[in-house]
Structure 1
Amino acid sequence: MTLREKTAQLVGVWVGASDEGGEVAPHQHEMEEPPDLGTLLPYGLGQLTRPFGTAPVDPALGALSLLRSQQRIAAANRFGIPALAHEECLAGFAAWGATAYPVPLSWGATFDPSLVRRMAATIGRDMRAVGVHQGLAPVLDVVRDARWGRVEETIGEDPYLVGTVGTAYVQGLESAGIVATLKHFAGYSASRAGRNLAPVGMGPRERADVILPPFEMAVLEGRPRSVMHAYTDTDGLPSAADEALLTGLLRDTWGFTGTLVADYFGVAFLKTLHGVAEDWSDAAALALAAGVDVELPTVKTFGQPLLDAVESGALPEALIDRALHRVLVQKAQLGLLDADWSPVPAVLADTDLGEPEKLRGLVDLDRAENRRLAAQLAEQAVVLLRNDGLLPLRHPARIALIGPNGDEPTAVLGCYAFPVHVGGQHPETPLGIELPTLHEALTAEFGTEPVTVRGVTVDGDSTDGVAEAVRAAREADVVVLALGDRAGLFGRGTSGEGCDAQSLELPGRQRQLLEAVLDTGTPVVVTLLAGRPYALGRAVGEAAAIVQCFFPGEAGTQAVAGVLSGRVNPSGRLPVSVPVHPGVQPSTYLAARLGQAGEVSSSDPTPAFGFGHGLSYSEFTWSGLQVEVAETGTDGEFRCAFELHNTGARSGSEIVQLYLHDPVASVVQPVQRLVGYRRIPLDTGAGCRVEIRLPADLASFTGRAGHRIVEPGALELRISASSTDIRFAVPLRLTGPVRPVDHTRRLHPVVTVGAADGS
């Protein structure tokens, strides 16, 4: 291959993207003119960017368009190599008419990796069926500051939860033949003050023990075939130019062999935002040398500027060959280099491609099985934060549905759901999927139509509608108060990419509406459809119930209605803490002693509801703790067991959570951190024996010398219902020498559920 043919395989092209109107991606308006495909394609093409996720298109017609593009690309270059097509799939395939699943923060709330794995496999099959090869998910960023707009895209504030659920997503997507892409590697969520793309000031120990473990687990256990670098710089070093991170750690240590792709315009940002590159050639050389293989979304620096860098001697051609080898190996794995390769996707097989309009409606990306799975995820993700006994509702005669999210179809969607991400720029186009409002869901659930009053908008300043809301509340038996967010991009919403918050106060005038409705004395069920946790003020102590949902997807309102009626027994748990005060940030449960409340500061970060919290309509008893091995070497394993019984009047699920407390260590440790969990469904009256084997490796941390170690000394295993609800505190002790460990260490406890003693 010529040098130009080689570099052509290292770029994507975004056909149909425009610098006019709203932005789909950051700094999209800075894109160069659309590339001249007639000039580019004879040399080949690495990737096609978002053929379905750029504008609304019928899925069958989109598949046909992609087929024809691939035929043109393969025919134009002398090797007959087609492009790899990638798409977003953060909360479902980001295509018109595709199922909108709950956002990743809701995946975390389920504490159910197996269900997330099933969802990802289903998403992958839909993508593969229409000719897509790569999905830009999952997001493995750990929440460090809930003001960050992209909290909704994350799985939570704990690295073990993020790692296990994210790895399950990778396994599901890859099982369908889709290349999973881990992002954003690494540290994006730790930006200062929660501002998008802001510098990251964390130290190497926080990076090693909080930010990197989810990526490490996903690489080792999920076997993804792609990773995307982060936009941010850490201590002055941009991720896109960090060779120690992208090559030294990811490839040389962890053994990753796939492709490393740029976040959109991320290579160019080395010049425009980070100021570490003098020109486009310099930016391309820095990124390629660090380990970036493919520039996305469209050719900018890896085109002529990269050629110039090689021809000037600033960059050795061997680095081009290194990236090219990775790209071509991946294309070979996908069958794109096979002699009998065909661009015809599965959904168009045995169809007449000569009459495109007859294909319209042929492909269903929101099948009944998808919708059932979306409903199951949504139901498991609903978190009941508070309940004074009002819930489940016993067929109230008069329901007042008040609040800005009560009658809004898209209130259940995050910013990467197609109707929000792209559809918002095409208001003339139907949503493409059924999105019942909470008004419609409550009407169907209870058989009576609630009186619905908006009161205020999500983020407006007007309170003119509050008086009407108060009247409706006074005349009702119960109020369902629907508050929360509106997803959007770059300031067009209150949650989503580029929609960062200055505090965790409810947006707009929602707090005033909340207080006015509470003042009526009518029982209030606060229901949140949001992308991040918010301080709820008086509701924490005065609301009859609080139901937290993190953008639960197309089946979300039915899930909420089911929880309110009792048809669904809530089992979700908080993947992020809910604060008492809106301004105490950043604050997560994963804090050291001085990060928690104390006499040294008048600022109290104690949460209103802690990580892992969630109520049920069932009652569970934990009893009969037995500690079999409480002392072991630094290479050993602890063992204990207890019994769990459902003593309530209905079937339900308890989530057993394992936290490790290290009271004395050579470096400061979090007071506790999650090291394991297990979702356990039990019928009413049923019980089980839960056996725990905890390897000493789970006590490892990054020591003073910067290496991961297991230290001898005292530990405490906290077997808990949440980070704030410890059921058993088990004293443990590690003996022997300090033991170095690496990425080959054990990453999980073994939690076995068996028959209860005597049953």
Structure 2
Amino acid sequence: MSLDEKLAQLVGYWVDQGDEIVAPMAGEMASSQSYSEATRHGLGHLTRVYGTRPVDPVERARWLWAEQTRLRTQTRLGIAALVHEECLTGLAAWKAATFPTPLAWGAAFDPETVREMGRLIGASMRQLGIHQGLAPVLDVIRDPRWGRVDECISEDPYVVGTIGTAYVEGMQSAGVHATLKHFVGYSASQSGRNHAPVHLGRRELSDVFLPPFEMAVRDGGVRSVMNSYAEIDGIPVGSAPELLTGLLRDDWGFDGVVVSDYFSVAFLETMHAVAADAGEAAQLALAAGIDVELPTGDAYLAPLAERVRSGATPIELVDRAVVRVLMQKEQLGLLDDDASEPPTAIDLDTPAHRDLARRLAERSAVLLSNDGILPLADPAPSRVAVIGANSASSSSLMGCYSFINHVLAHHPETPDGIEVPSILEAVRRRWPTAIVHHAIGAEVEGDDRSGISAAVDAARAADVAIVAVGDQAGLFGRGTVGEGNDVESLELPGVQRELVEAVVATGTPVILVILSGRPYAVGWALDGPTAPAAVLQSFFPGEEGATAIARLMAGDIAPSGRLPISLPRSAGAQPFSYLQPILGGVSEITSADSTPVRPFGFGLGYTDIAYDALAVPPAPIPAGEPFDAVVRLRNIGHRATDEIVQLYARDTVASATRPVAQLVAYARVPLDAGEAAEVRFTVVPSRLAFTDRSMRRVVEAGEIELWVGDSATRRVSSSVWLSGATYAVTASDARRVEIAVDRGADVPNGRHDAGGDGAGMPAVG
């Protein structure tokens, strides 16, 4: 291969890139090369050929197959291009299904359903000739002011790791390579600002931010990783060989391809100023371990070629990356002849897609409060008021990286391409005989209060008012949440709080539905004179989200979602994580209160669950050995439900400070009315490990407090003692807890007090 041919394999080309801003600084970084010139020596990646503009999938597939044939037959090497697309909430293409946003995946606590979703998304991509998906996001949430929170799964690294790995396994089972992002530390940005510096200690990096990526690499076998835009303690990740090579490849054994986040190689010069020019930026990135520059070849083409030819950059760095790229293409069949034909018809939003989208939306809705109004009683209300800007908007159900909000927002003349019923439409379908009064009341953004009086009138004329508020996702200042839409306040945007309070003041029972991409400080809505009768939190639930919400309100299904992130008290209490040491919580030596208004893992249901004892080994366990923790529970109510059983631990004394609570494992357990179950968690040593003073991941001897509950709050508890020498965790150690659920187990009716706070009390779930 000539140098030009090698470099061509290390870059992408954005065929459709125009004035639409769908990536940071995309307009400023647009490639000046024509497509024919860029592909003269071949091409590594085709960038978002379906996902940049609304193109008909069948017509675009015909173009893509012809273009791949041209690359195979009319370039000297005959190597086809790898096609990548965004797929965070489903394939980001016109007419493709849109699933709930990742924050909703976390709220569902349901890896199996996420695995199924990944498989469906991957199958759609494969049909269209797409080889690589730019998901999942494994950034651990640290500050809800950050605009990209809706792209993330949880504030807990184990939830992020297990659910993100399930997505990887599902997608890759369909023959499409998943891409982990953003490796690593991106979400720890200063003050929750996008692209802001990250001030992160090595121990927190190791114990909180790296475990989800390690699980997806070691257990999920992911084939691609994308670097973070972040600089950690002054070192941009895109120029850090200790992370992209030493840790990722040498320590973890990753043998796939590292791709750059869009324009991040050039950012080493323009935003971080650690490179004098684009050529030096290319060398830094290539030496660090970034194999492919996306979305275009701003640094890896002419600037890098000049350095290689002058001897400033060793050709061995280029060869290393080319070998990795060609190995990936070989795995995907791109080095072979292809006699296939493009699809002449394709359904990207089948009944299977919609059924799964609805199930995930149902399982991710979190009931934050309920005075008994939900489920709505029979007979159904005869007069319903549906209020709020998000009540009649389909885009309010979608995340930032949905095609509707990411791309179609720039093409208002183009229809959605998929059916997305609004809350208003879903209410009318679910209660067809009811008289429905509708009023916007107030927009998501702005200070226009002129519509509030009409909303008040609608509420007064109704038996119940459903008020839908929250966010409108978008990018870089367009919308209230999403990439580049960071905030200083966690109050509901605009005058939506005033709208809710005015409707509540009418005396008509109010069900508040929050459609958002981040948790807001809504303590005022959960307690006191301004509190609605019920509050339902739904993190951008996707195309079937409104149908799911209507079914939940009607009682067709019970809510079972849990908060994947603590519900904040205020913006001033941020950043906050339930994974805090003693000094991170409330104390007598500060007047500031960071206690969340609802804890991590919280969520109400329509029945009562009794937790009855937590059994652990009575004798000491060697620090490097697994052990079983067994809890018994019973549905003592009259409705079937799914209970999210959560096992927590606290290392009472350690050589480094440890969190006062840490989720060890969780299980989604279906329970019929009156049914009992026994849940057995086989806790592996890695779940109790931390980074000690010598920067080793270890498990130390001593007492481990354990408790089980329906949130991070203790229900039934016990302790286990670890004995012997300190155990150093190895690569062969299991990272996921094995769970066995025996439904219908012989569980005594009596409630045994195992010594925990609230033991023997029924948990609402």
SS at match of 2:739: strand
| Cα deviation, residue 701, structure 1 | 0.1
Structure 2 residue aligned with 1:344: 341
SS at match of 2:325: helix
Amino acid at match of 1:515: E
Structure 2 residue aligned with 1:583: 572
Amino acid at match of 1:505: E
Amino acid at match of 1:136: L
Separation (CA, whole Å) in 1 of partners of 2:127 and 2:269: 39
CA contact 1:184–1:229 (8 Å) conserved in 2: yes
Structure 1 residue aligned with 2:393: 408
| Cα deviation, residue 343, structure 1 | 5.9
CA contact 2:141–2:188 (8 Å) conserved in 1: yes
| Cα deviation, residue 449, structure 1 | 4.2
Separation (CA, whole Å) in 2 of partners of 1:228 and 1:309: 24
| Cα deviation, residue 304, structure 1 | 0.8
How do residues 596-607 of structure 1 correspond to structure 2 at under 5 angstroms?
596-607=585-596
Aligned match for 2:140, one of 142, 146, 153: 142
| Cα deviation, residue 39, structure 1 | 2.6
Aligned match for 2:735, one of 747, 752, 758: 747
Structure 2 residue aligned with 1:377: 360
Matched, 1:431 2:416: yes
CA contact 2:614–2:707 (8 Å) conserved in 1: no
Amino acid at match of 2:65: L
Structure 2 residue aligned with 1:389: 372
**The 10-residue stretch of structure 1 (536-545 or 524-533) with the greater mean CA deviation from structure 2:** 536-545
CA contact 1:91–1:102 (8 Å) conserved in 2: yes
Structure 2 residue aligned with 1:355: none
Aligned match for 1:730, one of 711, 718, 722: 718
Separation (CA, whole Å) in 1 of partners of 2:42 and 2:57: 26
Structure 2 residue aligned with 1:539: 525
| Cα deviation, residue 396, structure 1 | 1.4
Separation (CA, whole Å) in 2 of partners of 1:698 and 1:264: 34
CA contact 1:131–1:343 (8 Å) conserved in 2: no
Separation (CA, whole Å) in 2 of partners of 1:704 and 1:586: 25
SS at match of 1:29: coil
Separation (CA, whole Å) in 1 of partners of 2:353 and 2:678: 34
Structure 1 residue aligned with 2:14: 14
Amino acid at match of 1:191: S
Matched, 1:620 2:609: yes
Superposition RMSD in Å: 1.3
How do residues 89-168 of structure 1 correspond to structure 2 at under 5 angstroms?
89-168=87-166
Once the two structures are superposed, residues 281-319 of structure 1 have per-residue CA deviations (whole angstroms, 9 ceiling, x without a partner) of 000000000000000001110001111121222211011
CA contact 2:162–2:736 (8 Å) conserved in 1: no
Matched, 1:659 2:648: yes
SS at match of 1:656: strand
Once the two structures are superposed, residues 105-137 of structure 1 have per-residue CA deviations (whole angstroms, 9 ceiling, x without a partner) of 111111110100000000000000010000000
SS at match of 2:225: strand
Once the two structures are superposed, residues 612-649 of structure 1 have per-residue CA deviations (whole angstroms, 9 ceiling, x without a partner) of 11111122111144333452111123333232212221
Structure 2 residue aligned with 1:183: 181
Separation (CA, whole Å) in 1 of partners of 2:709 and 2:747: 24
**The 10-residue stretch of structure 1 (374-383 or 279-288) with the greater mean CA deviation from structure 2:** 374-383
5+ residue gaps, structure 2, are 749-765
Aligned match for 1:645, one of 634, 639, 657: 634
Structure 2 residue aligned with 1:171: 169
Separation (CA, whole Å) in 2 of partners of 1:678 and 1:58: 41
Once the two structures are superposed, residues 664-704 of structure 1 have per-residue CA deviations (whole angstroms, 9 ceiling, x without a partner) of 11111111111111100011121122223223332110011
Separation (CA, whole Å) in 2 of partners of 1:619 and 1:32: 57
| Cα deviation, residue 280, structure 1 | 0.5
Structure 1 residue ranges, 4+ long, deviating more than 4 angstroms after superposition: none
CA contact 1:439–1:449 (8 Å) conserved in 2: no
CA contact 2:632–2:676 (8 Å) conserved in 1: yes
Structure 2 residue aligned with 1:443: 428
CA contact 2:613–2:716 (8 Å) conserved in 1: no
Separation (CA, whole Å) in 2 of partners of 1:150 and 1:156: 12
Matched, 1:504 2:495: no
Separation (CA, whole Å) in 2 of partners of 1:320 and 1:692: 47
SS at match of 1:121: helix
| Cα deviation, residue 33, structure 1 | 4.1
CA contact 2:523–2:597 (8 Å) conserved in 1: no
Matched, 1:212 2:210: yes
Matched, 1:558 2:562: no
SS at match of 2:465: strand
CA contact 2:646–2:710 (8 Å) conserved in 1: yes
Amino acid at match of 1:368: P
Tell me the number of residue pairs that the alignment of Structure 1 and Structure 2 aligns. Answer: 741
Quick one: structure 1 residues 435 and 487, their matched pair in 2 at CA, closer, same or farther if it must change by over 3 Å? same
Matched, 1:518 2:504: yes
How do residues 656-735 of structure 1 correspond to structure 2 at under 5 angstroms?
656-724=645-713, 726-735=714-723
Amino acid at match of 2:26: Q
Quick one: structure 1 residues 112 and 516, their matched pair in 2 at CA, closer, same or farther if it must change by over 3 Å? same
Separation (CA, whole Å) in 1 of partners of 2:139 and 2:559: 27
CA contact 2:15–2:35 (8 Å) conserved in 1: no
Matched, 1:460 2:443: no
| Cα deviation, residue 758, structure 1 | 6.7
Amino acid at match of 2:661: Q
**The 10-residue stretch of structure 1 (159-168 or 438-447) with the greater mean CA deviation from structure 2:** 438-447
CA contact 2:648–2:706 (8 Å) conserved in 1: yes
CA contact 1:35–1:299 (8 Å) conserved in 2: no
CA contact 2:7–2:318 (8 Å) conserved in 1: yes
Structure 2 residue aligned with 1:569: 558
Amino acid at match of 2:470: G
Separation (CA, whole Å) in 2 of partners of 1:243 and 1:31: 25
| Cα deviation, residue 74, structure 1 | 2.1
Paired-residue identity, %:
51
SS at match of 1:85: strand
CA contact 2:637–2:673 (8 Å) conserved in 1: yes
Separation (CA, whole Å) in 2 of partners of 1:513 and 1:97: 35
Structure 2 residue aligned with 1:358: none
Separation (CA, whole Å) in 2 of partners of 1:369 and 1:512: 40
SS at match of 2:710: strand
SS at match of 1:124: helix
Amino acid at match of 1:148: W
Amino acid at match of 1:471: D
Separation (CA, whole Å) in 2 of partners of 1:53 and 1:102: 18
Once the two structures are superposed, residues 530-555 of structure 1 have per-residue CA deviations (whole angstroms, 9 ceiling, x without a partner) of 00000114211122111000000000
Quick one: structure 1 residues 594 and 175, their matched pair in 2 at CA, closer, same or farther if it must change by over 3 Å? same
Structure 1 residue aligned with 2:351: 368
CA contact 1:388–1:545 (8 Å) conserved in 2: yes
CA contact 2:488–2:571 (8 Å) conserved in 1: no
**The 10-residue stretch of structure 1 (134-143 or 515-524) with the greater mean CA deviation from structure 2:** 515-524
CA contact 2:623–2:726 (8 Å) conserved in 1: yes
Separation (CA, whole Å) in 1 of partners of 2:593 and 2:731: 37
SS at match of 2:218: helix
| Cα deviation, residue 49, structure 1 | 0.2
Amino acid at match of 1:398: R
Amino acid at match of 1:149: G
SS at match of 1:30: coil
| Cα deviation, residue 436, structure 1 | 0.7
Quick one: structure 1 residues 328 and 655, their matched pair in 2 at CA, closer, same or farther if it must change by over 3 Å? same
CA contact 1:629–1:639 (8 Å) conserved in 2: no
Q: Please give the TM-score of this superposition, normalised by the length of structure 1.
A: 0.96
CA contact 2:382–2:435 (8 Å) conserved in 1: no
Once the two structures are superposed, residues 321-355 of structure 1 have per-residue CA deviations (whole angstroms, 9 ceiling, x without a partner) of 100000000101111112x323634x24xxxxxxx
Separation (CA, whole Å) in 1 of partners of 2:504 and 2:483: 33
| Cα deviation, residue 476, structure 1 | 2.0
Structure 2 residue aligned with 1:352: none
Amino acid at match of 1:341: D
Separation (CA, whole Å) in 2 of partners of 1:467 and 1:203: 52
5+ residue gaps, structure 1, are 349-361
